[in-house]
Chain A
Amino acid sequence: DAKTTQPNSMESNEEEPVHLPCNHSTISGTDYIHWYRQLPSQGPEYVIHGLTSNVNNRMASLAIAEDRKSSTLILHRATLRDAAVYYCILRDDGFGNEKLTFGTGTRLTIIP
Chain B
Amino acid sequence: GAGVSQSPSNKVTEKGKDVELRCDPISGHTALYWYRQSLGQGLEFLIYFQGNSAPDKSGLPSDRFSAERTGGSVSTLTIQRTQQEDSAVYLCASSLVYGQRYGYTFGSGTRLTVV
Contacts and interface: CB of A to CB of B under 8 A. Distances in A.
Given A43-B108, A45-B106, A104-B42, A97 B55 contact: no
B103 A99 contact: no
A103 B42 contact: yes
A45 B109 CA distance: 12
Tell me the interface secondary structure of chain A in the complex: loop
Interface in A82-101: 91-101
A97 to B, nearest CB: 7
B12 interface: no
Contacts of B105: 46
A101 B108 CA distance: 18
A104 B104 CA distance: 18
A49 B109 contact: no
Nearest to B91: A43
Contacts of A21: none
A96 B106 contact: no
A100 B101 contact: no
Highest count of chain A CB atoms <10 Å: which of B50, B56, B91, B104? B104
Interface of B: 4, 31, 33, 35, 42-43, 45, 48, 50, 55-56, 59, 91, 93, 98-101, 103-109
Given A43-B108, A99-B45, 12 more contacts: A32-B100, A44-B91, A45-B106, A46-B105, A49-B101, A93-B100, A94-B100, A95-B99, A98-B55, A99-B48, A99-B59, A104-B42
